[in-house]
């Protein structure tokens, strides 16, 4: 039976990411936030007024999940809680929006996927950068064949997550931060897989990974319980190779570096050269697109992603680009990379 009314969304957590999610969900044509669950006491009238519609507040996740009016649960809280909360939501027959990381281990990610499949519910993982103008334009350029067949690519994440950033207070611990790649660099590795892999295919495009990690000597980043800088080399099943640097201890502006090299040309961020255009190889051509240039969640393309998710729910299908099965491929590579780094760079096969 078609779902004719907007999807009622209950949000778990009420931090920085949650407020960005609420605004984005309410800006879609098919979703509205009608409940928020937080360990902190919240005033329902105040929250409703702030977000422009009636919102119930809960203190216990199980109470919100018991509400039959809730269609979708948005998990935005601490990563160490993601597995249990997502599995509980699936068991309650709620579709799921899940902030990255999906969870903190391969076993937990598998548990979430299995629970969703058994319950017949769909999932959306917040790899929203796939919906950014930067990577939508880049992917379109690749699909047009302007770079030919890619044999090398690098997508790197440079974002100093220090005391000035909201995530810092819980991100420094191994329990919720995990690794530089898991906590934030995952966006870059995921973008690399989008560009050099085969989105939509059930098979992981990566054959093996090698990773090394270290950390800054700066006192600013001393609270971190794990290495805050890593570099990962990927060998794709096609024979192509790739690289992702995940640097969360840098002191510089936010930078999402992209460099792709193919048989017909190259792309560097928002510039490219293609032999197919008969252009001067001595100069780059420039693409008109909005770059990912901020770690501020309010600037992330959640609205486009959530609209795509609701549209897919209307059709009873997995969403494109960031479904649970698609995101699992990225996390399989991340956990393999972290295993390699823990072993001093020993290659790990997938």
Task: Give the pLDDT confidence of 152-205 residue by residue, as tens digits.
Answer: 999 999 999 999 998 999 999 999 999 999 999 999 999 999 999 988 888 999
Domain closes at, from 68, 87, 121: 121
pLDDT for 198: 82
288 is a domain residue: yes
Segment 209-220 shows an average pLDDT of 98
User: pLDDT averaged over the chain?
Assistant: 96
Residue 199's pLDDT is 83
Domain match, 47 and 161 both: no
Task: State the CATH number of the domain containing residue 247.
Answer: 3.30.360.10
- Round to whole Å and give the CA distance between 128 and 326: 13
Residue range 256-267: mean pLDDT, rounded: 98
pTM: 0.96
Q: How is residue 339 written in tokens?
A: 């295993």
Q: Are 285 and 147 in the same domain?
A: yes
Reported confidence tier of residue 108, pLDDT bands at 50, 70, 90? very high
3-state SS, one letter per residue, for the chain: CCCCCCEEEEEECCCHHHHHHHHHHHHCCCEEEEEEECCCCCCHHHHHHHHCCCCEEECCHHHHHCCCCCCEEEECCCHHHHHHHHHHHHHCCCEEEECCCCCCCHHHHHHHHHHHHHHCCCEEECCHHHHCHHHHHHHHHHHCCCCCCEEEEEEEEECCCCCCCCCHHHHCCHHHHCCHHHHHHHHHHHHHHHHHCCCCCCCCCEEEEEEEEECCCCHHHCCCCCCCEEEEEEEECCCCEEEEEEECCCCCCCEEEEEEEECCEEEECCEEEEHHHCCCCCCCEECCCCCCCCCCHHHCCHHHHHHHHHHHHHHCCCCCCCCHHHHHHHHHHHHHHHHHHHCCCCCEEC
pLDDT higher than 90, residue 298: no
Residue range 12-66, pLDDT digits in tens: 999 989 999 999 999 999 999 999 999 999 999 999 999 999 999 999 999 999 9
User: At residue 1, does pLDDT exceed 60?
Assistant: no
Q: Which of 71, 93, 121 is the last residue of a domain?
A: 121
Whole-number Å distance between alpha carbons of 49 and 63: 22
Is 77 inside a domain boundary? yes
| Domain hosting residue 260, numbered range | 132-296+330-349
Higher pLDDT, 201 or 142: 142
Q: Residues 143, 66: one domain?
A: no
183 and 43 in a single domain? The answer is no
Same domain, 210 and 337: yes
- Please state the domain count of the chain: 2
Q: What is the CATH number of the domain that holds 54?
A: 3.40.50.720
Return the higher-pLDDT residue of 281 and 310.
Answer: 310
Instruction: Check whether residue 142 and residue 276 sit in a common domain.
Output: yes
What pLDDT, in 10s, does the model give residues 318-346?
A: 999 999 999 999 999 999 999 999 999 99
Q: Return the closest-CA partner of residue 21 out of 175, 128, 116.
A: 128
For residue 167, what are its two tokens? 């995530």
Average pLDDT over residues 71-82: 97
Same domain, 171 and 243: yes
* High-pLDDT (> 70) share of the chain, %: 99
Same-domain status, 163 and 62? no
Residue 278: its pLDDT value, please?
Answer: 94
Cα distance between residue 150 and residue 264, in whole Å: 9
- Cβ proximity of 288 and 310 under 8 Å: no
pLDDT tens for each residue of 97-107: 999 999 999 99
């Amino acid at each position: 039976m078609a779902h004719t009314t907007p999807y009622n969304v209950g949000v778990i957590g009420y931090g920085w990411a949650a407020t960005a999610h609420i605004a984005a969900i309410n800006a879609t044509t098919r979703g509205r936030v009608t409940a928020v669950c937080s360990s902190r006491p919240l005033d329902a009238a105040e929250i409703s007024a702030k977000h422009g519609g009636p919102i119930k507040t809960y203190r216990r996740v199980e109470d919100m999940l018991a509400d039959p009016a809730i269609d979708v649960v948005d998990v935005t809280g601490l990563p160490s809680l993601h597995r249990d909360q997502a599995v509980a939501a699936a068991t309650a027959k709620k579709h799921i929006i899940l902030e990255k990381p999906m969870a903190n281990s391969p076993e937990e990610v598998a548990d979430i996927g299995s629970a969703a499949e058994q319950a017949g519910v769909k999932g959306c993982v917040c790899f929203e950068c796939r919906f950014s103008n930067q990577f939508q334009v880049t992917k379109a350029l690749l699909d047009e064949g302007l770079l030919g067949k890619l044999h090398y690519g690098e997508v790197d994440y440079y974002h100093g997550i220090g005391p000035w950033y909201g995530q810092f207070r819980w991100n420094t611990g191994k329990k919720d931060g995990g690794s530089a790649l898991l906590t934030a660099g995952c966006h870059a590795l995921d973008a690399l897989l989008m560009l050099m892999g085969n989105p939509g295919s059930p098979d992981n495009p990566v054959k093996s990974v090698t990773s090394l990690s270290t950390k800054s000597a700066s006192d600013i980043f001393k609270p971190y319980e794990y290495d805050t800088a890593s570099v990962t080399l990927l060998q794709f099943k096609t024979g192509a190779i790739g690289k992702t640097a995940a640097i969360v201890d840098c002191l510089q502006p936010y930078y999402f570096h992209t460099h792709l090299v193919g048989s017909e040309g190259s792309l560097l961020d928002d510039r490219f050269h293609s032999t197919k255009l008969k252009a001067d190889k001595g100069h780059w051509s420039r693409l008109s697109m909005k770059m990912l240039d901020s770690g501020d969640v309010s600037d992330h393309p959640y609205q486009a992603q959530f609209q795509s998710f609701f549209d897919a729910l209307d059709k009873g299908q997995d969403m494109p680009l960031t479904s649970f099965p698609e995101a699992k491929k990225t996390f399989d590579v991340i956990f393999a990379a972290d295993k390699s780094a823990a072993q001093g760079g020993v290659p790990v096969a997938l």
